[in-house]
Amino acid sequence: MSSRGATAVLSRASRIRSKLQTALEATVLEVDDVSYQHAGHAAVKGSSDKETHFNLNIVSPKFEGQSLVKRHRLIYDLLADELQSGLHALSIVAKTPHETNPSK
Protein backbone atom coordinates (compact mmCIF):
# COMPACT_ATOMS: atom_id res chain seq x y z
CA MET A 1 0.00 0.00 0.00
CA SER A 2 2.64 2.51 1.02
CA SER A 3 4.89 1.54 -1.88
CA ARG A 4 2.03 1.97 -4.32
CA GLY A 5 1.36 5.40 -2.85
CA ALA A 6 5.01 6.32 -3.05
CA THR A 7 5.22 5.54 -6.74
CA ALA A 8 2.02 7.33 -7.74
CA VAL A 9 2.57 10.40 -9.88
CA LEU A 10 1.00 13.40 -8.16
CA SER A 11 -1.28 15.54 -10.29
CA ARG A 12 -0.28 19.16 -10.75
CA ALA A 13 -3.19 20.19 -8.53
CA SER A 14 -1.86 18.00 -5.72
CA ARG A 15 1.67 19.32 -6.14
CA ILE A 16 0.41 22.91 -6.06
CA ARG A 17 -1.68 22.25 -2.96
CA SER A 18 1.19 20.54 -1.19
CA LYS A 19 3.74 23.28 -1.93
CA LEU A 20 1.42 26.09 -0.90
CA GLN A 21 0.17 24.42 2.28
CA THR A 22 3.68 23.60 3.44
CA ALA A 23 4.95 27.16 2.96
CA LEU A 24 1.88 29.22 3.84
CA GLU A 25 0.15 27.21 6.60
CA ALA A 26 -3.11 28.33 5.00
CA THR A 27 -6.40 28.33 6.89
CA VAL A 28 -8.17 28.25 3.51
CA LEU A 29 -6.62 26.71 0.40
CA GLU A 30 -8.77 26.25 -2.69
CA VAL A 31 -7.05 24.97 -5.82
CA ASP A 32 -9.46 24.83 -8.77
CA ASP A 33 -8.39 23.45 -12.12
CA VAL A 34 -10.15 25.59 -14.75
CA SER A 35 -8.05 24.41 -17.69
CA TYR A 36 -11.18 23.30 -19.54
CA GLN A 37 -12.27 26.95 -19.78
CA HIS A 38 -9.11 27.73 -21.77
CA ALA A 39 -9.14 24.72 -24.10
CA GLY A 40 -7.96 25.86 -27.50
CA HIS A 41 -6.23 28.90 -26.04
CA ALA A 42 -3.66 29.90 -28.65
CA ALA A 43 -0.75 30.00 -26.26
CA VAL A 44 -1.29 26.45 -25.05
CA LYS A 45 -2.07 24.76 -28.38
CA GLY A 46 0.01 21.66 -28.80
CA SER A 47 0.65 21.34 -25.10
CA SER A 48 0.29 17.72 -24.06
CA ASP A 49 -0.12 18.76 -20.44
CA LYS A 50 -3.77 19.47 -19.69
CA GLU A 51 -3.40 21.14 -16.29
CA THR A 52 -2.60 24.65 -17.48
CA HIS A 53 -4.95 27.05 -15.66
CA PHE A 54 -5.79 27.22 -11.97
CA ASN A 55 -7.77 29.53 -9.73
CA LEU A 56 -6.26 29.85 -6.26
CA ASN A 57 -8.03 31.14 -3.17
CA ILE A 58 -5.69 31.28 -0.19
CA VAL A 59 -6.11 32.63 3.33
CA SER A 60 -2.86 32.68 5.28
CA PRO A 61 -1.32 34.69 8.15
CA LYS A 62 1.87 34.81 6.08
CA PHE A 63 0.26 37.55 3.97
CA GLU A 64 0.01 39.95 6.92
CA GLY A 65 1.51 43.32 6.01
CA GLN A 66 2.23 42.25 2.43
CA SER A 67 1.05 44.19 -0.62
CA LEU A 68 -0.90 42.37 -3.31
CA VAL A 69 2.16 42.32 -5.57
CA LYS A 70 4.26 40.74 -2.84
CA ARG A 71 1.61 38.14 -2.06
CA HIS A 72 1.27 37.13 -5.69
CA ARG A 73 5.03 37.13 -6.15
CA LEU A 74 5.40 34.86 -3.11
CA ILE A 75 2.94 32.40 -4.63
CA TYR A 76 4.61 32.53 -8.04
CA ASP A 77 7.98 31.88 -6.43
CA LEU A 78 6.62 28.82 -4.62
CA LEU A 79 5.23 27.47 -7.90
CA ALA A 80 8.17 28.43 -10.12
CA ASP A 81 8.85 24.80 -11.09
CA GLU A 82 5.24 24.32 -12.19
CA LEU A 83 5.29 27.52 -14.24
CA GLN A 84 8.34 26.22 -16.08
CA SER A 85 6.86 22.81 -16.78
CA GLY A 86 3.51 23.59 -18.38
CA LEU A 87 1.48 25.65 -15.91
CA HIS A 88 0.27 28.57 -17.99
CA ALA A 89 -1.72 30.90 -15.75
CA LEU A 90 -2.94 31.40 -12.21
CA SER A 91 -5.78 33.56 -10.95
CA ILE A 92 -4.95 34.43 -7.36
CA VAL A 93 -7.00 35.63 -4.41
CA ALA A 94 -4.69 35.95 -1.40
CA LYS A 95 -5.95 37.24 1.95
CA THR A 96 -5.06 37.22 5.63
CA PRO A 97 -7.49 35.67 8.13
CA HIS A 98 -8.27 39.19 9.36
CA GLU A 99 -9.31 40.29 5.88
CA THR A 100 -11.87 37.51 5.64
CA ASN A 101 -13.38 38.44 9.04
CA PRO A 102 -13.00 42.23 9.21
CA SER A 103 -15.41 42.56 12.14
CA LYS A 104 -13.18 40.58 14.53
Partner 1 sequence: MATSLSNVFLKGIAARSLSRPLNGLFYCTRYSNTVSNDSDTHDDFKPGNKLEGSGICLSNVIEQDVKDNPVMVYMKGVPDFPQCGFSSLAVRVLKHYDVPISARNILEDPELKNAVKAFSNWPTFPQIFIKGEFIGGSDIILNMQQTGELKEKLKDITSKQ
Which is nearer to partner 1, 70 or 98 (by Cβ)?
70
Nearest approach, Cβ of 36 to partner 1 (angstroms)?
A: 13
**Which residues does 45 contact at the CB level (< 8 Å), separation at least 6?**
none
| 9 lies in the site for partner 1, by CB under 8 A | no
- Alpha helices by DSSP H, listed for 1-104, are 2-7, 12-24, 68-78, 80-83, 97-100
Which is nearer to partner 1, 6 or 15 (by Cβ)?
15
- Specify whether the CB–CB gap between 91 and 54 falls below 8 A: yes
Which is nearer to partner 1, 3 or 67 (by Cβ)?
67
| 92 lies in the site for partner 1, by CB under 8 A | yes
- Specify whether the CB–CB gap between 63 and 94 falls below 8 A: yes
Footprint (CB under 8 A) of partner 1, residues 16-75: 38, 41-43, 68-70, 72-73
d(CA 87, CA 84): 7
The footprint of partner 1 (CB under 8 A) covers 38, 41-43, 68-70, 72-73, 76, 80, 83, 89-93
